[in-house]
Chain A
Amino acid sequence: MTFANPWGLLGLLALPAIVILHLYYRRFPPLLIGGLHLWGVQTQVRQAGRRRERLPITASLLLELLAAAVLSLVIAQPHLAESRHVEHLVVVLDNSASMQARPPGKNSFRDAAVEEITKRFQNLSAGSVATLVVTSRRPELLAGPTVPLSKAKAALEAWHPGAVAHDFEPAWDLASQLAQDSGRILFVTNHLPPKQSPTPKAMEIVSLGRPLENTAITAARWSFDPKTNQGRIFLRIANFGKQPADVRVRGRHGDQQLFEKMLALNAGADAALETDVRGGLGEMTVEASSAADGLEIDNRVTLIEPKVRTVTIALTLPADHAALRPVRRALAGIAETQMGSPADAQLMIGAANALPPSKAGLTWLGIGPIDPSEAARKKAKDIIGPYLLEKRHPLLDGIVLGGVVFGGAQAVSLEATPLVSAGQQLLLCRLSGTQTAAYLLNLDFARSNLAESPDWPILVKNLVEVCRDGLPGLKRWNYRLNEQIAFRLNVDDHSGGDRLTLTFGGKTQPLARAPVVEIPPLQEAGIYEVRDGDRSIGRFAVNFHDPIESDLSTLGPGVRDAVSTPAPLSYQLDDPFSWLIAVGIVLILVAVLADWFVLDRTARARRVPQ
């Protein structure tokens, strides 16, 4: 037995104090009687000082001693657990999706891991504790820290690995912190990590995997052409096994089969598959099956039909503007756009000397010259570089400006953020002080060769896509696990409720309302729906695409013992012995109440004869 708070034993000093009080400070209330001689004593003459007398063993004394002793023990918190040599086992569970792989006719690696850990639990002494850590990009506690084995077993049964490939080091670090210097760490996986991996010294590694054949859908995309009202499915099927595989690929919409194709894949090979589907399906499921397949999660994807996000463009350039033709030529090759009036347009392209209204959701490109007067044009410069580009801006994605002459560049007096500049001269910038996403292209097409360079259509395409990204709703409808998902709320639409939620499989998760709503990386594959109050504002699919996890050929069994074995620590759990404290408290209460009863009875008896 040990004591969590040995100082509490100082309370035992109360025992001799109580004895002394009863011995020297007895309460002898006076009682007037007649016939003192009948009490067997002669009249006592009191002398100075106090005589030592035999300690009267009274119920009050015993109850007070009992209360003091039990109270001291409760404060000291005795623990009987240490004598039982309990251990703390920290189990790190490989949460990779490949743990779901199942050898033909056998348990999955996950089931084997549960079985192995259960055996380890059985070998621990009673009262031992465990902590379960699952690996992930951000490791999590499945059970614990330091929970009884029964609770750990229950949590283990509910464990379903399904994470994409990730590093194990964060989970190992967490396990080391939890184990401190005493607990044992057990890492259960399906392949031994490389020997040079920074594994904790106290960690034992058990791999329960074995190489398996596997075919998987490693990529899936659904595009839609509004002109033909036709959809197109792109799939990439890979064979990660050591043997050739015949893969049957089937596409279904509900119970309706859309297509079925057979692919013959050599070992380690992959193949792309494209097929057309009619528009308006909404969603579909694609399954790839082969005779020898170890992992099921990568055989099936669910796809959501993409929505058309048409950008309405208004061209406000004067008819004699040198940029009019190049702009029209560049816009002609961009899909999902339409021309419209400035009032309805999401994208306005006009002369730089006519600034746009301040309007949220509007994108504007002003093309020089900024000052069309002859004098200003004469003072304008022709710049051949070098150019400084803000490469991180999506407007300049793919822009190199090699050999481009920015002719007719004028001084920019507006407050702006440079995107392309040459020295102090702004050539492409974003204007500040307006809700409109306003860009200024400071050149004169009459004196520039930008329109003839390959960067021009890219720049216009980027401009349209920047505008398209600013449209409300989802940008895409099919994602991978752990992918960042964001969508823009329609700021003009206030018909929804206050509660923005994400629903999946009956579960609802609140989302933070913002102009651009970001959904944290999702860990489960399936169809998700974003709801604004009771109204659905978007559905998207999340699928498992992870060639690393689908490659089961590298799995293998093995055991790697811990480099150092920590001294077993006796952990003290309050749970099994909390009843002792409860019993102690009850005893104290009983003793105090009984003491009170005894004293009260005495007091009552005292009152009677007087």
Chain B
Amino acid sequence: MKSVRHDPEVQQALAVYRLASPRLPVAGASGELLGRGTGSSLEFQEYREYLPGDDIRHVDWSAYARSDALMVRLYRDEISPRTEILLDASRSMTTGGETKSRVARQLAAVFALLSARVGGRPTVVLLDDARPSRTLALDALDNLSVLPFSGTATLPELFAENVVPLKRQAVRIVVSDFLFPHDPDALVRRLSRESGALWLIQLLNGWEADPPSSEGRRLIDVETDGSVDLLLDRKTVTAYQERLARVQEGLRRSCRCAHGRFVTLIADRGLPTLCLKDLCAAGLLIPAA
């Protein structure tokens, strides 16, 4: 299988886009991004009264001359945030052919490489049945190409087992279809805990997003092996779409509460279109200058 790092669509995305600034993390290693806290960068943030222990180099002597009060300049800290890309490697990412899993690999690679470009120290956490969850560093990114997407555990189950290694203050990007039973508030709360920023990317195939009405089908859940015979008539499809919309709205609302972002992508549209239309519109990517 071709290396995802050298995937033409991934290379094109890397050339055209850069990662938008997530809600700034409070802290992180010194880097190119500005942190929410004060630091030692050259970018002036505000004044405050001098307190003992402050760096005397930041005292604004001119202001002292004017106001007879010791004021120190505060500068924004330059950080190098950690980026965690949580990739859903369960079987549900394989439905509808290879498109969904391929785009999932591409997204993980794009986010990892764009993050690395700004010194984000990305890691890809594979959410499958491995205990604990495996992580891929940047240099092991090509392993995504052989990722089997064979997991059956859901994200809430993994969190419940506490097998997902999450770092504090990291920017978390979750790529999943979120087609597992879950409580969106609890899930988002758990994902946003101690995170610097949270992006939820729901990846669906075209049929999952808008299934056509048709004759009777035996629906088999690839993860639970549960099945049911259903007539996919208009009424049934409409009810499914309403439930899916409720799931999406729940995730979106929870993300807003957690200052995160939620976006739904249709894998059938292809990575270039997703980047150009959906990810840019959602503010996750911005065109490179």
CA distance A606 to B97 in the complex (A): 12
Asked if A602 and B179 make an inter-chain contact with CB atoms under 8 angstroms apart, the answer reads no
Q: Which of B223, B229, B244 contacts A28 (CB 8 A)?
A: B229
* Chain B, interface residues (CB within 8 Å), range: 35 or more
CA distance A212 to B91 in the complex (A): 110
Interface residue stretch chosen among B34-42, B192-200, B213-221: B213-221
Total interface residues on A, CB under 8 Å, equals: 32
Interface residue stretch chosen among A7-15, A29-37, A100-108, A124-132: A29-37
Asked if A609 and B236 make an inter-chain contact with CB atoms under 8 angstroms apart, the answer reads no
Is A228 part of the contact surface with B, judged by Cβ < 8 Å? no
CA distance A27 to B243 in the complex (A): 26
Task: Contacts A30-B220, A35-B180, A39-B219 given; indicate if A44 touches B229 (C-beta within 8 A).
Answer: yes
CA distance A31 to B240 in the complex (A): 15
Asked if B217 and A38 make an inter-chain contact with CB atoms under 8 angstroms apart, the answer reads no
Task: Contacts A38-B240, A40-B240, A605-B212 given; indicate if A30 touches B223 (C-beta within 8 A).
Answer: no
Asked if B243 and A32 make an inter-chain contact with CB atoms under 8 angstroms apart, the answer reads no
Is A60 part of the contact surface with B, judged by Cβ < 8 Å? yes
Interface string of A452-493 (1 = CB under 8 A from B): 000000000000000000000000000000000000000000
Task: Contacts A41-B228, A44-B226, A610-B97 given; indicate if A36 touches B215 (C-beta within 8 A).
Answer: no
CA distance A527 to B207 in the complex (A): 90
For residues 418 through 461 of chain A, which have their beta carbon under 8 Å from a beta carbon of chain B? none
Q: Which of B91, B217, B227, B229 contacts A606 (CB 8 A)?
A: B217
Is A58 part of the contact surface with B, judged by Cβ < 8 Å? yes
For residues 11 through 47 of chain B, which have their beta carbon under 8 Å from a beta carbon of chain A? none
Interface string of A52-79 (1 = CB under 8 A from B): 0000101010000000000000000000
Name the residue in A40, A606, A609, A610 with the highest tally of chain B Cβ atoms < 10 Å from its Cβ.
Answer: A609
Chain A residues with Cβ under 8 A from B179's Cβ?
34-35, 38
Chain A residues with Cβ under 8 A from B177's Cβ?
34-35
Is A43 part of the contact surface with B, judged by Cβ < 8 Å? yes
Q: Which of A30, A42, A56, A609 contacts B207 (CB 8 A)?
A: A609
Is A507 part of the contact surface with B, judged by Cβ < 8 Å? no
For residues 206 through 250 of chain B, which have their beta carbon under 8 Å from a beta carbon of chain A? 206-208, 211-212, 214-224, 226-231, 233, 236, 239-240, 243-244, 247
Is A119 part of the contact surface with B, judged by Cβ < 8 Å? no
Considering the complex, give the chain A residue whose CB is closest to the CB of B181. A37
Chain A residues with Cβ under 8 A from B230's Cβ?
39, 41
Chain B residues with Cβ under 8 A from A605's Cβ?
212, 214
Task: Contacts A28-B229, A608-B96 given; indicate if A34 touches B218 (C-beta within 8 A).
Answer: no
B residues sitting closer than 8 Å to A (CB atoms) are 90-93, 95-97, 177, 179-181, 205-208, 211-212, 214-224, 226-231, 233, 236, 239-240, 243-244, 247
A-B contact sample (11 more), CB < 8 A, given A36-B224, A43-B224, A608-B207:
A27-B215, A32-B220, A33-B220, A34-B93, A36-B227, A36-B228, A39-B230, A43-B226, A46-B227, A598-B215, A609-B97
- List 7 A–B pairs whose Cβ atoms lie within 8 Å, in order of A's numbering: A30-B218, A34-B179, A41-B228, A43-B227, A43-B228, A44-B228, A609-B205
Q: Top 7 closest A-B pairs, CB basis?
A: A43-B226, A34-B92, A35-B179, A36-B221, A609-B207, A28-B218, A34-B179
